[in-house]
Amino acid sequence: MFTNNYRYNFIDVFSGAGGLSEGFFNCNFNPIAHVEMNNYAAETLRTRSCYYYFKKMGNLDYYYDYLRGNISRDELYGAVPEEVLKTVINAEISDKTYKKIFEKIDSIMEQDGVDEIDVLIGGPPCQAYSLVGRASAPSGMEEDPRNDLYIQYARFLNKYKPKMFVFENVPGMLTAKKGLIWKRIQQRLKTVGYSIEYRLVNSHDFGVLQNRKRIIIIGWRKDLNLRYPNFPKIEIDAIVNDILNDLPHLEPGGEHNEYVANPSEYLIATGIRNENDVLTDHQTRNIREVDRDIYRIAIEMWNNNHERLRYTDLPEELQFHNNIISFLDRFKVVEGDMECAHTMLAHISKDGHYYIHPDIEQARSLSVREAARIQSFPDDFYFEGPRTAKFVQIGNAVPPLMAKGIAESVVELLDGLED
């Protein structure tokens, strides 16, 4: 988009809403292309590209007008150069489509005068690798075609030969198909010319108030003197309530987009909330009154004794599910008084029972904005689509603070090549 003002460039595949990209944006990388098949996520990427365009121009007023609802999305998109929006390629990556995607990326590179790609980032959809996904699928997702999307990732490596790549996924990738998938991934990535290593990391170590374990595979071209980066651990003096307490109280099904308190030190230090931010998406789903009664029991147990509610411990008049063998922790309170919340998953789009707000006076599930903050998305990050689609995008994303820590370490290694 602004090739002359950036030091390194990247391509993001299987982009989702752009959580991983956000970290690289913040480390002054130039996005050559984002490739994402989901329509709502692709619109989110375009909107975020507009944000960075206006930020680079030194005036975000027009973007904030969009967040306030003063202008339409078409008007927002019409105010930026076409090449900004073209960096988002809304397409599935498959055997049938990859050549056309390459053509579009080649065209962008030629137009921007870019000769080489520095970094490829992204990770195939993780549902086929995740332990939760395998447990809930009748076949354990053995035949899920998403198991083989790493082949498409390797095609991008073989075509553009970036200096490095960052491949993010769930720990279950290592054990999918009894470890066969991981063995094949290693073989394929090495075959196209890369040395690779992986680490199991936790987003909390990057300053995110969430316990989220992920596999980060880093690869580098075999002809380059590179290595796996060192990720410095960030010490946090904050609790989860520090990202909730400046937001207005909501009833189930409510929405209120005005801040009610000054931001916490954590929100300021991480950039999650800034001085001129416009609050959006502080909306929550409606729930049955019987579920709200269950929420109150779960909240009281957690806040008083740090005890989790088991479904079978509920009074019989509050038990409506036939399954009393598995998923007994289906009602779970967010750990407001602790340093990190439990893992934010896309399942929040189906119901909010696993993400109950810790305030018993509200007795509701998390709002879209609260979920985004737990993932460390800044308040100026706007998610396109209906509420359900927004929750999916948030739950599937790489936390931007974690992505920034990864990007900073990648920059150090790339800088070392030029010394």
Q: Which domains does the chain have, with CATH numbers?
A: 3-232+398-418 (3.40.50.150)
For residue 368, the surrounding DSSP H or E stretch is: helix 368-374
Tokens of 401: 């603070």
Q: Which of 27, 50, 126, 340 is catalytic?
A: 126
pLDDT tens across the length of the chain (419 residues): 555 567 899 999 999 999 999 999 999 999 999 999 999 999 999 999 999 999 999 999 999 999 999 999 999 999 999 999 999 999 999 999 999 999 999 999 999 999 999 999 998 885 555 545 544 545 544 555 556 899 999 999 999 999 999 999 999 999 988 999 999 999 999 999 999 999 999 999 999 999 999 999 999 999 999 999 999 999 999 999 999 999 999 999 999 999 999 999 999 999 999 999 999 999 999 999 999 999 999 999 999 999 999 988 888 888 887 666 666 778 999 999 999 999 999 999 998 999 999 999 999 999 999 999 999 999 999 999 999 999 999 999 999 999 999 999 999 999 999 76
Asked whether 11 and 395 are in contact (CB, 8 A), the reply is no
Q: Report the distance separating Cα 250 and Cα 284, nearest Å.
A: 8
What are the angstrom distances between the C-alpha of 270 and each of 262, 338, 372, 394, 405? 15, 18, 14, 18, 12
Asked whether 25 and 52 are in contact (CB, 8 A), the reply is yes
Tokens of 44: 């989110």
Tokens of 393: 């995008």
Question: Locate tokens 């921007």: which residue?
Answer: 112
Asked whether 378 and 278 are in contact (CB, 8 A), the reply is no
For residue 213, the surrounding DSSP H or E stretch is: strand 213-221
Asked whether 306 and 363 are in contact (CB, 8 A), the reply is no
| Count of CB atoms situated within 10 Å of the CB of 220 | 25
80 CA to centre of own chain: 25
N-term to C-term CA, the chain = 27
| 126 assigned to active site | yes
pTM confidence score: 0.93
